[in-house]
Structure 1
Amino acid sequence: MKFKKSIIEVLLVSFVLAFSASAAAKDLRLGLIVPNSHAWTAAARSMAKDLKEQSDGKYTVSIYPSGQLGSEARMLQQLQTGALDMAFLTLAEITNRAPEFGAFYEPYLVENVEQAGELLNGPTATKMLDNLPSEAGVVGVGYGIASMRVMLTNFRATSAEDLSGRKIRITPFPPVRDFYNLLGAAFTPMPLPDVYDALANGQVDGVDADMELVWKLKLYQRAQTVLNSNHMMFPVIGLVSGRLWAQLSESDRKLISGVAKKHLNALFPKYTKIQAEMTRNVKNAGVDVVDVGPDFFGDVTDEWDVQWTRKAPVLKDLKAEAAAIKREDAPQ
């Protein structure tokens, strides 16, 4: 009887411990605007697996891609109220709340994804995250990237003047709007899934995108020209709800932010390969891919710089860091 009692007691203790661990476990909801096939979503899945393992099951992550939880503006609101725990968002909506983040869109601030990774992990970009709790009610845990921006047109484009008066689909936030305003283009916001048909029916004449979207959304099928300009980087930022953050222990904050930053950072080498692969695919599809640089845009890049140095003084520090990175990369 005593032996049986001991077994029962052990089983009861094990059950209580298991129940307590289960009750303490938390499922974090993470939203993204990009589709399930996108590299950002893959990074979120890898992060979720890693976090579950490192927390011994204390934290799991449910991922909602493709804007299932609404627009990025809506997801930011959910982060602020605590209805959403985490998100991997473009910097577009953050720039609407914290204009200094628009400085990252300086044309030709960096030359490629690798340089973007160095800059976004540098002292100025890291320090900028400190202002997000007060400015936007969220905590920034790190940056990632998509491919550098290019321009696809359904007409033959041989100069920046060819873009004047044309309807170009853009992500509608101030730094990108200002760039296309200076080019004389009529920027046209619309959901990305609608762009393919819009290029065919003349609703838009072109799109500001990256090679991954040009290829995966088959936009190249509607193209006369792809200007391989690499004119801007396009960061993603990892965000945690400020309300959730306030409830976390210091060790859990360190764990969650460390795992998120690790997988966001993994996007930099990944996108170096993705951009090269997608560019080859588009060229092999018979599209006229034209390499252009800063000279193609004439004075527009300088005019943008003047405007945004006033709007975001932090741009001076970012430019200094970017210049040092470019010097290090220059052939000796």
Structure 2
Amino acid sequence: MKTLTATLLATVALTGAAAAQSCEVTLRASDTHPEGYPTVVAVERMGEMLTERSDGRICVEMFHSAQLGEEKDTIEQTQLGVIDLNRVSLGPFNNIIEETKVFTLPYIFRSTEHMHQVVDGEIGQQILDEFQNHQLVGLTFYDGGSRSFYNSQKPITSVDDIEGMKFRVMQSDVFVDMVEALGGNATPLPYGEVYSSIQTGVIDGAENNWPSYDSSGHYEVAPYYTLDQHLMVPEVLTMSQASWNSLSEEDQQLIREAARESTPIMRELWQAREAESEQAMRDAGVEIVAEIDKQPFIDAMGPVYEKHVTSEKLQDLVSQIQAVE
């Protein structure tokens, strides 16, 4: 770990040297998505706000395209203070911060609007506050779209079609159990290994949103996409607690404000990107199953909720989410 940390620090220091020369504080930001992706652009915009409002003292140096590693690795590096800012899906946090599980439960959100009401309100703040117990600061939530299944074998038109199929999932027990509950075989894999794993038959498919399905090129090897929309998992922007503690209260407040203000920017970009990617996939000839009865999928999730919503705190959070109009 020490060697890895030293290597990452050296890499980041060299790449961010120019920015560091002109700024008192250079915040190193990581994202697995490529340049131009809505989450990447949102953090870059946040950086622009910080530079302007701090009179050039604070800069953000973005490392996109998993330059600093896949999400599981970057979470650890952010906890250690090697990475300052990190945009990550909530899925990989499930095994670290128990409370994040409620936002990754299948069909917990009725719609995108319902999700926004939840994550932008008191419930969302409760979840963000939990990060402070894990060497992290939770800053804001971004959209991750609705996730659906895609594969290389056949159109999925019902739960029965999933029986025996191998699907990549994020490294989250909730995701694993969701696929198992539907009769499939879940295979946790880093995002960067999905394309080759489908291509070589290690897995039959995966599950994700339109922009990720498009930008990753997964549609080239898995041309069947089913809009079951089993998950609407928010993305979260976190900061290293060590990096946070090194700043003044005034600078901490600047970062919180800029992070929150980057959220509507990200959502606007996301909506446009989602529509663009969906059309691109249709134009590419992807076979899309748009009309599907979701109720059997929802009914199959009973064991997932029973297994993962066990504590009184989680049960209360689920009840609060379901009560939000």
Q: Tell me what 1:151 maps to.
A: 149
Q: Tell me what 2:239 maps to.
A: 240
User: Are the aligned partners of 2:38 and 2:273 in contact in 1 as well (CA < 8 Å)?
Assistant: no
Q: Tell me what 2:224 maps to.
A: 225
- Inter-CA distance 132–146: structure 2 relative to 1 (3 Å threshold): same
Distance 2:184 2:312 in 1: 24
CA apart distance, 1:308? 2.4
Distance 1:223 1:81 in 2: 37
CA apart distance, 1:115? 2.6
Does residue 51 of structure 2 align to residue 62 of structure 1? no
CA apart distance, 1:322? 4.1
Equivalent runs, 1:31-180 vs 2, <5 Å: 31-134=30-133, 136-156=134-154, 157-180=156-179
User: Are the aligned partners of 2:117 and 2:324 in contact in 1 as well (CA < 8 Å)?
Assistant: no
Equivalent runs, 1:176-195 vs 2, <5 Å: 176-195=175-194
Distance 2:273 2:110 in 1: 16
Tell me which moved more, 46-55 or 243-252.
Answer: 243-252
Distance 2:176 2:158 in 1: 19
SS in 2 for 1:35: coil
Q: How many residues align?
A: 303
Q: Tell me what 2:14 maps to.
A: none
Does residue 207 of structure 2 align to residue 208 of structure 1? yes
CA apart distance, 1:314? 2.8
- Inter-CA distance 313–319: structure 2 relative to 1 (3 Å threshold): same
Distance 1:180 1:73 in 2: 20
SS in 2 for 1:57: coil
User: Are the aligned partners of 1:80 and 1:241 in contact in 2 as well (CA < 8 Å)?
Assistant: yes
Tell me which moved more, 241-250 or 303-312.
Answer: 303-312
Q: Tell me what 2:195 maps to.
A: 196
- Inter-CA distance 73–126: structure 2 relative to 1 (3 Å threshold): same
The sequence identity of aligned pairs, in percent, is 24
TM-score by length of 2: 0.85
CA apart distance, 1:312? 7.3
User: Are the aligned partners of 1:308 and 1:315 in contact in 2 as well (CA < 8 Å)?
Assistant: no
Q: Tell me what 2:18 maps to.
A: none
Distance 1:201 1:70 in 2: 23
Distance 1:298 1:118 in 2: 22
Deviations, residues 93-128 of structure 1 (Å, cap 9, x unaligned): 322211110110122222333332221111112122
CA apart distance, 1:221? 2.8
Distance 2:314 2:267 in 1: 23
SS in 2 for 1:261: helix
Tell me which moved more, 72-81 or 230-239.
Answer: 72-81
- Inter-CA distance 307–107: structure 2 relative to 1 (3 Å threshold): same
- Inter-CA distance 275–311: structure 2 relative to 1 (3 Å threshold): farther
Q: Tell me what 1:320 maps to.
A: 320
CA apart distance, 1:73? 2.8
Distance 1:294 1:308 in 2: 21
Distance 2:264 2:93 in 1: 19
CA apart distance, 1:23? 8.7
- Inter-CA distance 318–270: structure 2 relative to 1 (3 Å threshold): farther
- Inter-CA distance 315–257: structure 2 relative to 1 (3 Å threshold): farther
Deviations, residues 53-92 of structure 1 (Å, cap 9, x unaligned): 1111110111111222223233222222222221111213
SS in 1 for 2:229: coil
Tell me which moved more, 303-312 or 258-267.
Answer: 303-312
Tell me which moved more, 310-319 or 290-299.
Answer: 310-319
SS in 2 for 1:234: coil
Does residue 226 of structure 2 align to residue 253 of structure 1? no
- Residue identity in the other structure for 1:188: T
User: Are the aligned partners of 1:110 and 1:116 in contact in 2 as well (CA < 8 Å)?
Assistant: yes
- Residue identity in the other structure for 1:317: L
CA apart distance, 1:303? 2.4
Q: Tell me what 1:294 maps to.
A: 294
CA apart distance, 1:29? 0.9
Deviations, residues 244-302 of structure 1 (Å, cap 9, x unaligned): 22222222111101101211343234323332332232223332211335314153122
- The CA RMSD measured in Å over matched residues stands at 2.2
Specify the structure having the higher radius of gyration (Cα).
Answer: 1
Distance 1:258 1:322 in 2: 28
